Chains A and B, each alone.
Chain A
Amino acid sequence: MIEAHDLTKDYGSKRAVDGLSFTVRPGIVTGFLGPNGSGKSTTMRLLLGLDAPTRGDATVNGRHYRDHASPLHEVGALLEARSVHTGRSAYNHLLALAQTHGIPKSRVSELIDLVGLHEVARKRSGQFSLGMGQRLGIAQALLGDPKTVMLDEPGNGLDPEGIHWVRNLLKGLADEGRTVFVSSHLMSEMALTADHLIVIGRGKLIADTSVDDFVAHASQKVVVVRSPQLERLREALAGPGVSFEAAERGALEVHGLTAEQVGDTAAAAGIALHELSPQQASLEEAFMDLTRDDLEFAAEVEAVA
């Protein structure tokens, strides 16, 4: 369980996190979604007590992170920025962390095997590829068998197989009743992994919703239609909040209406439809819609500055 209340962080005059309140529940995977630079990594550092909030409060498993007697058993974290000494081997890096809690060496080897780093575990980690560094970070997060797992962009640098592996891992961890909090800037990845979504933009909370609701909401609003009378259909559908885009092979993509609305309108106007399909693939777009205002605002601010 992670609870943030009015969490706010300023760096100089820049507000990175702005009055964020949310709860991350155990037993499900919660996606933490936002464009790059929206404050996800800062929020995670605040949760871990690495940075002190300007205002507000955050607890993990009921306590401030700093007040836990066995932090690695409570929370396992993968931080986005590299957090390994480049001159130290993966094995020694994990061993040094394990030793702070009296975790045995056998656990270190177990985790190295789990993430598939056995071959390179004794090499200096500075020579690791991005993907290997990411696997080491995941091993670090899981070292203490933690009740809460917090991963910042775990998919970064992983190949499709690795991403698939992480997805299954996260689901497994949630199944066991752990709290799983994963950040990403990719909506499509979160739709496959997460059960619940917390979306932020420019440090502010934009949405706190289940993935099912988000998907339903998003897919309702984009429909691909094919018709021999496409121009007439377009005229019949036109209205406030409705826009069109040409789709492939002469189809039309209708934004802002549900499949039911498009079908009913076509029937009323006596227009034949050859295809009417709500689009599941527009999640990324829905996410963009959700965060666009913030990005536009950001662009304006930068243009002025």
Chain B
Amino acid sequence: MLNSKDLLGIKELTEQEILLILDTAAGFKDIIGRDIKKVPTLRGKTTVNLFFEPSTRTRTSFELAAKRLSTDVVNFSVPTSSVVKGESLLDTVLTVQALGADFIIIRHSSSGAPHLISRKLRASIINAGDGTNEHPTQALLDAFTIKEKKGKIGGLDIAIVGDIAHSRVAKSNIYCLTKLGANVRLIGPPTLIPKEIEDLGVGVFHNMEDGIRDADVLMMLRIQTERQDKGFFPSTEEYSKNWCLTSDRITLVKDNAIVMHPGPMNRGIEIVSEIADGPRSVILEQVTNGIAVRMAVMYLLAGVKR
């Protein structure tokens, strides 16, 4: 059983809750492998996708997950809504709840936006990414993928490479993987890794080769030009030279290491195509697993008594 009606972040989950979600997701993965990829479990419930930031893959993934559980799905994107007219976030979500939403999946550019609304609503709030805080379902599907491929997470050496400071995917993964007992290494330029982050129990490397040596899992992050201000590094060329996952660098990892990326990829900047499309890459499986994990999250949240 989950302890809260909402999924706001990995920080708020215990190790047991994380494992429960992963186990349940395994059950749902069977479903989506079938011809009829649907179960009647949450029939009659309504899911609202409330995306204040653009996103195709995450929104579609949630939409599919919600539909496969037989909920009715409504997509609420900012440009087409009254938020542009100046309606406050709280007013928007209260309206959405009044329309009958049981699940509200929210992506917002402000850290803490899901937390703000979860206090005011009966509906289950699922954080699909808030500012630079967390993206919990991404971390859960990443953990699921690692567990599936490697059989375990505890004790693995997992390297996360890129713009750690601005990446909610990185943060959620740090919390999730450390909770499950992995050795997490962060790799990137000093301007993109906050100095305090070592207090979370992770290793920090600025030299890519040192950082990825003998790693079991490589998680590459997209360089987010839309979120960062200019000036964190001089150019993407220089970034690539130092931190791109190339065919040379990949030889340093363990033989059976896997390569992950939350997508969308900047091919050639943080990862070369040969590796993105190569045998170590589990990038597409991450996408498939995403639906199963999100179905598991919604199923388990529905079972939490208000």
**A joins B in a complex:** no
Interface residues of B (CB under 8 A from A): none
